Amino acid sequence: MARKLVCICNLVLESEIEEIIKKGADTTQQIQDHTRAGTSCGRCLMEIDVLVEEHKKKKPESHQSRLEFGFE
């Protein structure tokens, strides 16, 4: 698997973002809070937005409660 760097400033890989999305993050802000991706220059925010939206399109709507990350 290729190791694509999404956030150059904070050295965050696409696989790290995908992993946190799989754990329940569903907004760019949650990705930022957990990985710091997109919190420096902001150049990668559009790519993070795309990853989040692609996941939302693939994910079936669930009535189960969400996983809590403790993002504050």
Is the pLDDT at 64 greater than 70, yes or no? no
Contact (CB, 8 A) for 48 and 31:
yes
Distance CA 41, CA 23 (A): 26
Predicted pLDDT of residue 10: 97
pLDDT tens digits along 6-43: 999 999 999 999 999 999 999 999 999 999 999 999 99
Instruction: Calculate ∠ Cα 29-33-37, nearest 5°.
Output: 80
Tokens of 45: 């925010």
pTM: 0.76
Domains and CATH numbers, the chain: 5-58 (1.10.10.1100)
pLDDT higher at 21 or 1? 21
